[in-house]
């Protein structure tokens, strides 16, 4: 059975037996948090459990590497929507050890793109349009530095509401252990 058929079949059962009742919550985050983290499969259930986040507690934004590649892209917009429209009051960036996005190699991925049948003409057209695939597809090298970069972009964003703490953490994808890299409260105090 293919994935979609599996999902649809399971879903029918899920709704029929009212399993959703355990997950009912408000659209506003109970713990007033926006969390930006990685899409890594190991974190799907582990991260919320390890942080004691339940349905309704936080706005969780995910992408490859918890990266903000553009200060006016959809990730930063989501952070701002969480803070301005959805009553969140703090932001936590959570990276993780062994992140695939840290080690991402642009040349390797470009080769993969070609091998999977995308025509080289497409690639050269993109390059001529000013799209720098090499830097777009390059990993950030070091997981801790990746977290700090995202924290800095959020913290220094001109549209961030003043006095919003922005924290940075790194999680072990095997044990769920968290390390605090940037304490947004103490940074706030020193800037006051």
State which of residues 38, 83, 88, 148 lies at the interface with Zn ion (CB under 5 A).
38
| Least CB distance to Zn ion at residue 64 (A) | 7
Question: Angle 45-50-11 (CA atoms, 0-180°, nearest 5)?
Answer: 20
Cα 133 to Cα 25, 35, 103, 161: the distances in Å are: 41, 28, 16, 33
> Which tokens in the block code for residue 190?
């020193």
Q: Could you say which residues in the range 77-116 bind Zn ion, by CB under 5 A? A: 99
| Least CB distance to Zn ion at residue 40 (A) | 4
How far apart, in whole angstroms, are the C-alpha atoms of residue 132 and residue 154?
24
| Least CB distance to Zn ion at residue 143 (A) | 8
Q: Which is nearer to Zn ion, 147 or 166 (CB)?
A: 147
Q: Report if residue 40 touches Zn ion, rule: CB under 5 A.
A: yes
What is the contact mask toward Zn ion in residues 44 to 83, using x (rule: CB under 5 A)?
----------------------------------------
Binding residues, by number, are: 38, 40, 96, 99
Q: Pick the stretch among 31-39, 46-54, 68-76, 164-172 that binds Zn ion (CB under 5 A).
A: 31-39
Contact (CB, 8 A) for 37 and 62: yes
| Least CB distance to Zn ion at residue 39 (A) | 7
Binding residues for Zn(2+), by number, are: 38, 40, 96, 99
Contact (CB, 8 A) for 93 and 169: yes
Q: Pick the stretch among 40-48, 78-86, 109-117, 129-137 that binds Zn ion (CB under 5 A).
A: 40-48
Q: Pick the stretch among 33-41, 118-126, 134-142, 176-184 that binds Zn ion (CB under 5 A).
A: 33-41
Each residue of 61-97: b (16+ CB within 10 Å) or e?
A: bbbebbbbbeeeeebbebbbebbeeeebebbbbbbbe
Q: Name the nearest CA neighbour of 36 among 177, 167, 178, 180.
A: 167
Binding region for Zn ion (CB under 5 A): 38, 40, 99
């Amino acid at each position: 059975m293919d994935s979609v058929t599996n999902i649809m079949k399971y879903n029918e059962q899920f709704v029929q037996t009212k399993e959703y009742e355990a997950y009912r919550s408000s659209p506003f985050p109970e713990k007033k948090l926006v969390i930006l983290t990685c899409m890594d499969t190991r974190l799907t259930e582990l991260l919320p459990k390890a942080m004691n986040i339940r349905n309704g507690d936080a706005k969780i934004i995910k992408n490859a590497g918890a990266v903000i590649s553009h200060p006016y892209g959809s990730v930063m917009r989501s952070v701002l929507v969480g803070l301005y429209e959805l009553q969140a009051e703090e932001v936590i960036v959570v990276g993780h050890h062994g992140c695939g996005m840290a080690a991402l190699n642009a040349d390797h991925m470009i080769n993969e793109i070609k091998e999977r049948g995308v025509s080289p003409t497409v690639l050269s057209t993109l390059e001529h349009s000013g799209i720098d695939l090499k830097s777009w597809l390059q990993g950030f090298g070091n997981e801790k530095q990746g977290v700090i970069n995202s924290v800095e972009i959020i913290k220094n964003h001109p549209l961030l509401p003043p006095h919003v703490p922005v924290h940075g953490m790194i999680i072990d994808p095997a044990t769920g252990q968290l390390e605090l890299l940037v304490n947004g409260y103490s940074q706030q105090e020193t800037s006051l």
